[in-house]
């Protein structure tokens, strides 16, 4: 038995549907008390503001970044978003356009959104993005290898990608909507963390169903178990279909309940979104609607 199969078989993370459903029902009962300006402000500061469109260009990305730059002047009472996430070829555009401190340059790389390309291509893409200024790289796990239980090759590839990323954080996307089954979500999460992932992320938001509370619960339980075994903290990122303030509160509540308050900051918790920032900002300002980003 290889070491990856061993850690999976030794995992005690719950995968029973009824257990997960009941756990989420209990967590949802605590959401009303989280509807505060302070919580919304924390969530805003954990957003990876994202533009991943086929029509993205240097001009459109530059304009997108300018809104982030202007935010500090227009709303100085609030912290900015955690990061701006773009395609890997725009890393340099973001890095040179960002004028505010504390906002990271994040990219999707390595054959996004399928993760189906040569390992050498993934490594080169990540290395180039980092050389252009990327602080964080979001890469998709090879789900074909996962389904074939080819764990050694899968993990070797992720470790090689992480090596190419150097000091940049690697967020591994497990595409939970393609897996669906809680057991597979658990296995993918464990393998990603044992492959040096700094974050595990639910989805690309491009092909399959995006983030779900069920997937988030299992992934956070995996992070908790991994931390208890190794002492290393891995972050959690929800992405895909997180659009409303209520959607965001669900994931905030799951992280709070499973992992605790020490995970409720942008070094360990992220939400990848485009329209969510406006919804959360409206709550912060106590307005019906805001169209800023």
Supply the DSSP string of 171-208, one letter for each residue. EEE--HHHH-SHHHHHHHHHHHHTTT-SEEE---SSSS
**pLDDT of 1 over the 70 cut:** no
The predicted structure's pLDDT at residue 199: 98
Bridge partners (DSSP) listed for residue 48:
83, 272
The predicted structure's pLDDT at residue 252: 98
Q: What is the mean pLDDT of residues 84-102?
A: 97
What span, in angstroms and rounded, lies between the C-alpha atoms of 277 and 50? Answer: 10
Residue 121 CA: distances (Å) to CA of 112, 127, 133, 135: 11, 10, 18, 19
pLDDT tens for 257-292 read 999 999 999 999 999 998 999 999 999 999 999 999
**pLDDT of 150 over the 60 cut:** yes
Active site residues: 138, 201, 237
The predicted structure's pLDDT at residue 180: 78
Cβ–Cβ < 8 Å for 258, 224: yes
Backbone angles phi, psi at 58, to 5 degrees: -60, -40
Rg (CA), the chain: 18
pLDDT band at 71 (very low <50, low <70, confident <90, very high): very high
Q: What is the mean pLDDT of residues 54-83?
A: 97
The predicted structure's pLDDT at residue 170: 98
What pTM was computed for the model?
A: 0.97
């Amino acid at each position: 038995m290889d070491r990856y199969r061993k850690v999976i078989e030794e995992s005690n993370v719950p995968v029973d549907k009824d257990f997960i459903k009941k756990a989420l029902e209990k967590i949802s009962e605590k959401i009303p008390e989280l509807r505060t300006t302070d919580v919304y402000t924390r969530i805003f500061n954990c957003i990876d503001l994202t533009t991943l469109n086929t029509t993205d260009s240097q001009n459109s990305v530059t304009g997108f970044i300018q809104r982030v730059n202007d935010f500090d002047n227009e709303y100085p009472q609030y912290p900015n978003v955690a990061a701006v996430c773009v395609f890997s070829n725009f890393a340099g555009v973001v890095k040179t356009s960002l004028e505010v401190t504390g906002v990271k340059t994040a990219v999707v790389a390595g054959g996004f959104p399928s993760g189906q390309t040569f390992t050498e291509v993934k490594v080169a893409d990540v290395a180039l993005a980092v050389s252009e200024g990327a602080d964080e790289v979001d890469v998709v796990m090879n789900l074909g290898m996962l389904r074939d239980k080819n764990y050694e090759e899968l993990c070797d590839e992720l470790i090689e990608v992480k090596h190419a990323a150097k000091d940049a954080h690697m967020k591994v996307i497990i595409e939970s909507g393609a897996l669906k089954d809680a057991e597979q979500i658990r296995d993918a999460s464990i393998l990603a963390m044992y492959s040096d992932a700094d974050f595990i992320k639910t989805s690309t938001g491009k092909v399959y169903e995006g983030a779900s509370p069920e997937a988030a619960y299992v992934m956070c339980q995996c992070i908790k178990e991994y931390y208890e075994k190794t002492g290393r903290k891995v972050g959690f990122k929800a992405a895909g279909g997180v659009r409303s303030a209520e959607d965001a509160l669900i994931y905030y509540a799951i992280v709070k309940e499973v992992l605790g308050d020490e995970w409720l900051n942008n070094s360990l918790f992220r939400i990848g979104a485009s329209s969510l920032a406006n919804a959360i900002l409206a709550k912060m300002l106590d307005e019906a609607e805001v169209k800023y980003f």
